[in-house]
Each structure stands twice: as C-alpha cells, then as structure tokens.
Amino acid sequence: MARRKRGSGNFRYALMAMFIATVLWGIAHGEKRTERNMDIPVAFYGLSNDLVITDQSTTEINIRVQGSRAALRNASPTTMEYPVSLEGAKPGLGVYDVEASFIDAPQGVKVVSRSPARIELEFEPRGRKNVKIRPDIEGEPAEGFLVGDVVTEPERVWLTGARGDVLRLTEVVTETVDITGVTQPIEKEVRLSLRAGHVWMEENRPVVVKVDVRAVPLNEPDVVPSVGPGGAEG
C-alpha cells in the first residue's frame, strides 16, 4: 500500500512540474514585452467645405510601441492612424500638438513615444470657376489626309480648390494627343493638365478629345470645251 501511495504522489508532482514549466515557457515566449518603431499615416477629420489644405509639415507620425510579440503582430500602419480634428480651422497657419493618447492602439499595445511633436497645416479658402478646355494636339496625319474639327466633350469644366490657384486659371489644357500618321478620325479619353497647384475637377467625369481626320479631296480634272465646225463651241 505504501509503495502504491508513494508512486501516486510522484505522479502528481510530475504533473505539477510539467504545468509550471509550461506556464513559465508561455511567460518567457508569449508575454515578454518588446518595442519597435513604425510610421502611421495622419488622417484629417472635420475640415470645413470652405477650406483647402495647401501645405502640411508631415503626412506620417513615427511612433514607438511596446507590448508582447503576440500583441505587436496586430499593430501596423494598415490598422493604426493618427487622427487630427480640423473642426474650427481658419485660413492661415494651424498648429496641432501630437498626443500619443489620441492613437487607438490594439489591445495590449502601448505607445511610448511619438515624433514629431506637432503638425503644422496651411489653410486657404476654397474657390470654384468654370473654364474652357483646350485640346493639345501634336503631329500631322498621314500624307493625303488633313485635320478637320477638333473638339472636347465637355467643352468646359468646373474647377475647385485653393481660391488663389483657381481664380488665376482662364483655361485648362488636356494631355497631348498624338495624331502622327493617322488616317481616320480619332476619339480619346484624356486627363487634364492641372498645373496650378491645389486644383482639381469638381466632378470626376471623363474628358474626351475628338479629332476629325479626313482624306484630302481630289481636284476634278479641268473640262476642255469641245469646238465644233466654224469655231462654234459644241
């Protein structure tokens, strides 16, 4: 009986030792805290429709995060961002302090540092204007062909953006359409070359350039009148 009791006790001790070893292994490998750096994007919220951001000091915030290896696997630039509320912004310079507490980190992850310490933004009133679209055509059609009408659809477009940039525009030019060697009318969807800065189309609609290319008309041969007897024209 004594021998049997001693063996049963040893077995319980062995199980307890294995359990403790498993717990310690889990603590050592799964709960060990570590740190790493990453860049997360800046996201703006609440900007008035009357304003446009024309300059910003940074588009990313570098943060140092701390947590277990398992927790840090859920921390990445695709799951985290730095939110900036722009409610109440006014034209001119705006300065926003970067607070680590604003970052919504995954469970078990702590943000221990951030850089830069602030974000600077430049705001300008928004403007809009309706301007003509000018097609940019390059090259010559094949020999024996000529260019007829060149039109765009639409002919005009509403632009919006920073008021100073928008109001300076009197027209916008399309990207270049090359007609070198063509022998038939062409129709091409194009982008607009908006080189004025912070300007974009108010409506995201396609712009099409249509170029009428046709054969040069052949000259009819000269008709020589027939002369009848006595010099009378026949």
Band (pLDDT 50/70/90 cuts) for residue 231 is: very low
Supply the CATH number for residue 100's domain: 2.170.120
Residue 7: the pLDDT is: 55
**What is the mean pLDDT of the segment spanning 36-47?**
94
Whether residue 220 has pLDDT greater than 60? no
Residue 204: the pLDDT is: 87
Contact predicate 40/78, CB 8 Å: no
Does residue 158 lie in a domain region? yes
Band (pLDDT 50/70/90 cuts) for residue 224 is: very low
Same domain, 102 and 176: no
pLDDT tens column, 125-155: 999 999 999 999 999 999 999 999 999 999 9
Does residue 88 lie in a domain region? yes
Domain coverage including residue 104 = 35-116
Q: How far apart are CA 212 and CA 149, in angstroms?
A: 5
Supply the CATH number for residue 134's domain: 2.170.120.40
**What is the mean pLDDT of the segment spanning 220-227?**
48
Residue 48: the pLDDT is: 95
Does residue 222 lie in a domain region? no
Band (pLDDT 50/70/90 cuts) for residue 28 is: low
Q: How far apart are CA 32 and CA 26, in angstroms?
A: 9
Does residue 223 lie in a domain region? no
Alpha-carbon Rg for the chain in angstroms: 37
Q: Which of 15-24, 103-112, 128-137 has the lowest mean pLDDT?
A: 15-24
DSSP characters over 3-62: HHHHHHHHHHHHHHHHHHHHHHHHHHHHS-EEEEEEEEEEEEE---TTEEEEEES-SEEE
Q: How far apart are CA 95 and CA 33, in angstroms?
A: 34
Band (pLDDT 50/70/90 cuts) for residue 34 is: confident
Whether residue 9 has pLDDT greater than 50? yes
Whether residue 22 has pLDDT greater than 90? no
Whether residue 5 has pLDDT greater than 80? no
C-alpha distances (whole Å) from 79 to each of 2, 72, 76, 105, 106 are 62, 11, 5, 9, 8
Same domain, 47 and 111: yes
What lies within 8 Å, CB to CB, of 125 at 6+ separation is 50, 51, 52, 91, 162, 163
Whether residue 233 has pLDDT greater than 70? no
**What is the mean pLDDT of the segment spanning 21-38?**
67
Residue 102: the pLDDT is: 92
